[in-house]
Chains A and B, each alone.
Chain A
Amino acid sequence: MREPLAKKVVDIKPSGIRKFFDIVSEMKDAISLGVGEPDFDTPWHIRDEGIYALEKGRTFYTSNAGLKELRVEIANYMKRSQDLEYHPLDQILVTVGGSEGIDMALRAMCDPGDEVLIPQPSYVSYEPCAILAGAVPVIIDLKPENEFRLTAQEIEDAVTDKTKVIVLPFPNNPTGAIMEKSDLEAVAEVIAKHDLYVISDEIYGELTYKGKHISIATMPGMQERTILINGFSKAYAMTGWRLGYACGPANIIAQMTKIHQFAIMCAPTTSQYAAIEAIKNGDADIARMRESYNMRRRFLLNSFREMGIECFEPYGAFYVFPCIKEFGMTSDEFATRFLKEEKVAAVPGTAFGNSGEGYLRISYAYSLERLEEAMKRFAHFVETLHSEKKED
């Protein structure tokens, strides 16, 4: 028989998360710090709208780009949160989570051989999606001394005449890094200079703890070269609803919508109705959850510092990214031993790119009580490691 699989697919290495997941799954009593989704339930008024939509029998396809009312509300949200104008009819596409938006954007913009700049550590899907789109991913290793922010120089160093797209993954999963106004101004200049397009993944935008999140699209000349990806998963605790959206220039959105139409048809209808309620009346929920995350963030940062673990202050998402290089183990080794000896699961930084080596992703999408227990165990583990070192 012939080889059934495409080489391009087989060659993509499986997610590092997957491997770790398999180890964790075997340990029944482990406590996890490993999730990338909120611990809150979707606020009741939003769930209620979803239930209502089902009761009313709104169970048909929507238009390919999504319910018009939802797109209008997304446009309103963009206006009030970022002062950005997007036309609901041709500049917004409702997608199955932010991840579909990323996939569609890469597929719509990349020809074979086009290079896509991907800063890492970052979310696991950019690189494989770029490959599947036929493009060549070019990794930019973000540096701890810049608190894992992207600099203009790093783009300059990576750009070639084949570079077409750059992914901007901020606020960042797994590092928690954000890009402030001055950071964005600097990279925007280089992006314009080299005539690049931006896929800006702002799914964690609402979870920013230092000022308000600023989109790259608000920088002069950037909106017309940016596909802004956002969604409902993180801001409204709606991961399982699978709903996101992409905003951008009409010509790009049109082609993304074309692929989306053939591959997906439309985002789930129930979720779209619930999302209208979320985006219209969910601001207070976001504020409440953000406040809670912020307390946990401060707690974790303080705990690591009290243990003497190096950890830069992350201002976004719900992760801290402590450095464990001093213990002379790889992220993988550290995470595996930590799991086996203390029964706590924290994801090795390398699951998000080679530049995550020496770091762990600690999620704070957990109650303070859970985090307190986990930090006790972390401190105990650190003590163990220190005493081992002395014996050597």
Chain B
Amino acid sequence: MEFREELLRIIEKNSRMNTKELAVILGVAEDVVAEELKTLEDEGTICGYHTMVNWENVSTETVTALIEVKVTPQRGQGFDNIAERIYNYPEVESVYLMAGGYDLMVILEGKTIREVSGFVSEKLSGLETVTGTATHFILKKYKDHGTVLGKKKEDTREIVTP
């Protein structure tokens, strides 16, 4: 695998590793890692260093909502303009342009049901190009970002084997 791709794969799963640790496990000099990280940040390939939080453990009141949004595309702008008007709301976690039965997928995370319904009825539906919405709530997350939630795997191997 190419160095840059390997580096990205590691920090995608564990962004807490520092440049020294990364240099050791990748078998390169520390400044090579530092430079590559800076390039990746500057060009916008690395967009942030986040922590994956299982909000279910923090509050039982909050939900994750996936909102399908149908819109009328605008001449000359396609969907970009309306997408921007939606993603500018700080409560919006993600926005994707979709192929299929609807146009935009809007995701709200860690919100109460009241907050979600308020967002949909007062903000989203009010946008003039939005022609329809369908809101889905996640009941349980089993796996997120490649990580199985809630279960710690036990090492069931024999403790010493040849």
Contact = CB atoms under 8 A, between A and B. Distances in A.
Contact of A295 (B25, B157, B159): B25
B160 A17 contact: yes
Interface in B19-66: 24-27
Given A295-B25, A298-B27, A299-B24, A35 B6 contact: no
A74 B24 CA distance: 36
Contacts of B10: 295
Interface residues of B, number: 14
A24 B159 contact: yes
B161 A291 contact: no
Say which size band chain A's interface belongs to: 20 to 34
Contacts of A347: 160
Interface string B131-162: 00000000000000000000000010111111
Interface in A291-315: 291, 294-296, 298-299, 302
Contact of A37 (B6, B24, B26, B157): B157
Contacts of A173: 162
A368 B13 CA distance: 13
A21 B26 contact: no
Contacts of A295: 10, 25-26
A244 B6 CA distance: 31
B27 A34 contact: no
Scoring B6, B26, B160 by chain A CB atoms within 10 A of each residue's CB, the highest score goes to B160
Contacts of B25: 295-296, 298-299, 368
Nearest to A30: B159
A272 B84 CA distance: 54
B99 interface: no
A17 B162 contact: yes
B159 A21 contact: yes
A20 to B, nearest CB: 6
Contacts of B27: 294, 298
A30 to B, nearest CB: 7
A32 B24 contact: no
Contacts of A296: 25
B162 A124 contact: yes
Interface of A: 15, 17, 20-21, 24-25, 30, 32, 34-37, 39, 123-125, 173, 287, 291, 294-296, 298-299, 302, 345, 347, 351-352, 368
26 contacts: A17-B162, A21-B159, A24-B160, A34-B159, A34-B160, A34-B161, A35-B159, A35-B160, A36-B161, A36-B162, A37-B161, A39-B155, A39-B157, A125-B162, A173-B162, A287-B1, A295-B10, A295-B25, A295-B26, A296-B25, A298-B25, A298-B26, A299-B24, A302-B24, A345-B160, A351-B162
